[in-house]
Chain A
Amino acid sequence: MTDTDHPVVTSRALVKRYGSHEALHGIDLDIPRGSVFGMIGPNGAGKTTTMRLLLDIIRPSGGELRVLGESPRGGGAGLRRRIGYLPGELHLASRVRGRELLAHYAQISGRVRPGAIEDLADRLGVDLGRPVRTLSKGNKQKVGLIQAFMHEPELLVLDEPTSGLDPLVQQEFHAMLREAKAKGQTVFLSSHVLSEVQQTAHEIAILRAGRIVALSTVTALRENAVHHARVVVSEPDASAARAILARVPGLGSVTEAQNGPGTVAFSTTLDSHVDAFVKAISALPIVDLTMEEPDLEETVLRYYDDRPGTTDHGASEPGR
């Protein structure tokens, strides 16, 4: 590969319309080679649409899109052999056995190392001797993962890959992602919740109603996440604490409650500025201090619906 410095996926002002409904309103993406990139957003935000555009299953209505240096349409079959794709809604209705179905997909894929299919099946724990249509949802998902990983593609595009998988298999899947990254493969995965991508992805795009509303690393997200803090002081210090907390920047509303005999508890939230907060309250004789681990999910949910002029009823969503 000569283009190691170039992003594996780039899009500029990428637009997708279905008739009069605009599903993507101009997406700018850069997915660096060798990274694990997560895309999260509520249902209908445009995650599946974005991924289908990469595979040339649907065509852009406007803007630019390059995958592994080529346009999805121009790259054709040769480009898709370098990609492994797991659709968001995987349907395997065939009566053929898992092994036979995967052998078929191997014929129309990039080169599959002998034994690769069996190795993956062992890791994920799925019986390839059974007709695929008799498999449970989770086991079908495993067959889907195998066909995406088996030819060790340069780019893995995985739409909600952990849906239907039990926690143990999810762990195995996360290990597969880390190994893929170690081998220099690039992973683009989506989910509607952050917890599924935060363990493996370092960069995250938050998609909402066809727009990227935030582009961040998990670390940065954590820094900006909502912290819940609770400060307990003895009753005589309460007024001093009240005054100090009123001056700390970035603090949410402060609630005050009696906390057993002779002490008062102040509960609040803070966006960032943990350092400023701790330094400010260090002037007080503190009885107890609790800082909860930031809830990233809560941070992300604010992006999902906390936009001016929209409500959470969904009625204002489509086709603007």
Chain B
Amino acid sequence: MSGVLPLFRRNLADTWRGLVAWTVGIIAALFLYLPLYPSIAGSGQMQDMIDALPPQLVHTLGYDQISSGPGYTEATFFGLLGFAFVTIAGVGWGTGAIANDEENGQLELTLAHGVVRGQLFAERTAAVLVKLLWLALVSFVVVLALDDPSELGIEADRLLAMVTAFFGLTALSAVAAITVGAVTGRRTWALGAGAGVAVYGYALNALGNQSEDLRWLHDWSPYSWALADHPLTNGWGEQTWLLFALTAVLLLVGWLVFRARDVAV
């Protein structure tokens, strides 16, 4: 009977190995990319290379800002490798929160005990979000630590704005996986929803980058809400709040449906 938040703690205990692995991956990625900046950007070689690439590709990758330290950090990590890493981690955890557990038959036994549906949904969602927050925090600390040695010129408040948007963007995909899992109980649908939100946002953002005529697409891309204003260069973005608003709506829908539906059918 002892202990608070038993499902939250169980989830963390079951998934700490993955969390350690992703933490190591993020640190490795940052240590691999950021120290390269002075040698590439400082010499102007980088700009020459970017100019040689097809402009569509440069716009897709968001490399048009790459000649500044913040732009480089955003384009290589927060907009690409870090985004991919943390999204994959978050969607995996999000799928595991309910859908995976239900499909392999273990959710039924947990729900037959002294817990209620809403509590299970809330505690497991909290566990996923805490893990994503941890990865965002690791990114924040490592980027800050590498800022000086790598001559990036990043300001701490802008980094906070960037990491907040980064957390919101990855949390949205993870919560999409949780909610679709909570509504359908199907692993593939949950996984598809989480990955779908990320790919959709990225693709729409890349299209919107191609020309001024297509810029309006950014208004419909979660990826753009986080990154189009370049928070690492310019500070808090105007649309970052949309990420959290949409996440909250998804959580509400998932919570309501999961409380009402039949489990394990």
Which residues of A are in contact with B by a Cβ distance under 8 Å? 18, 52, 55-59, 76-78, 80-81, 83, 85, 87, 89-96, 104-112, 144, 147
Q: Which residues of B contact A56 (CB under 8 A)?
A: 111
Q: Which residues of A contact B7 (CB under 8 A)?
A: 108
A108–B263 contact, CB under 8 A? no
B6–A108 contact, CB under 8 A? yes
Question: Is residue B155 within 8 Å, beta carbon to beta carbon, of the partner chain?
Answer: no
B6 (CB) vs chain A CBs: closest residue: A107
A111–B1 contact, CB under 8 A? yes
A91–B3 contact, CB under 8 A? no
Stretch at the interface among B100-108, B228-236, B250-258: B100-108
B106 (CB) vs chain A CBs: closest residue: A91
| Contact A108-B109, Cβ < 8 Å, known A18-B265, A58-B262 | no
Q: Which of B105, B260, B264 contacts A90 (CB 8 A)?
A: B105
A81–B114 contact, CB under 8 A? yes
Expressed in whole angstroms, the minimum distance between the Cβ of B13 and any Cβ of chain A is 7
Q: Which residues of A contact B68 (CB under 8 A)?
A: none
Q: How far is the CA of A109 from the CA of B2 in the complex (A)?
A: 11
B105 (CB) vs chain A CBs: closest residue: A91
B1–A87 contact, CB under 8 A? no
Complex interface residues of chain B between 1 and 39 (CB less than 8 A to chain A):
1-3, 6-7, 10, 13-14
Between A and B, 8 residue pairs with Cβ closer than 8 Å are: A77-B114, A78-B114, A91-B104, A106-B1, A107-B6, A108-B6, A108-B110, A109-B114
Q: Which residues of A contact B1 (CB under 8 A)?
A: 106-107, 111-112
Q: How far is the CA of A109 from the CA of B265 in the complex (A)?
A: 24
B110 (CB) vs chain A CBs: closest residue: A108
Nearest 9 pairs of A and B residues by beta carbon:
A91-B105, A81-B114, A58-B262, A85-B112, A108-B113, A77-B114, A107-B6, A55-B112, A108-B114
Question: Is residue B116 within 8 Å, beta carbon to beta carbon, of the partner chain?
Answer: yes
A84 (CB) vs chain B CBs: closest residue: B112
A58–B114 contact, CB under 8 A? no
| Contact A55-B105, Cβ < 8 Å, known A107-B1, A107-B3, A111-B1 | no
A83 (CB) vs chain B CBs: closest residue: B112
B1 (CB) vs chain A CBs: closest residue: A111
| Contact A93-B109, Cβ < 8 Å, known A52-B264, A77-B116, A111-B1 | no
Question: Assuming A55-B111, A78-B114, what are 8 further A-B pairs, CB within 8 angstroms?
Answer: A52-B108, A56-B111, A80-B112, A80-B113, A87-B108, A90-B109, A91-B106, A144-B109
A87–B112 contact, CB under 8 A? yes
Question: Is residue B156 within 8 Å, beta carbon to beta carbon, of the partner chain?
Answer: no
Expressed in whole angstroms, the minimum distance between the Cβ of A78 and any Cβ of chain B is 7
Q: Which residues of B contact A92 (CB under 8 A)?
A: 106
A85–B109 contact, CB under 8 A? yes
Q: Which of B2, B105, B262, B265 contacts A107 (CB 8 A)?
A: B2
Q: How far is the CA of A94 from the CA of B107 in the complex (A)?
A: 12
B14–A96 contact, CB under 8 A? yes
Q: Which of B6, B111, B264 contacts A104 (CB 8 A)?
A: B6
Q: Which residues of A contact B214 (CB under 8 A)?
A: none
Q: How far is the CA of A96 from the CA of B9 in the complex (A)?
A: 13
Q: How far is the CA of A110 from the CA of B119 in the complex (A)?
A: 17
Q: How far is the CA of A52 from the CA of B110 in the complex (A)?
A: 13
Q: Which residues of A contact B13 (CB under 8 A)?
A: 96
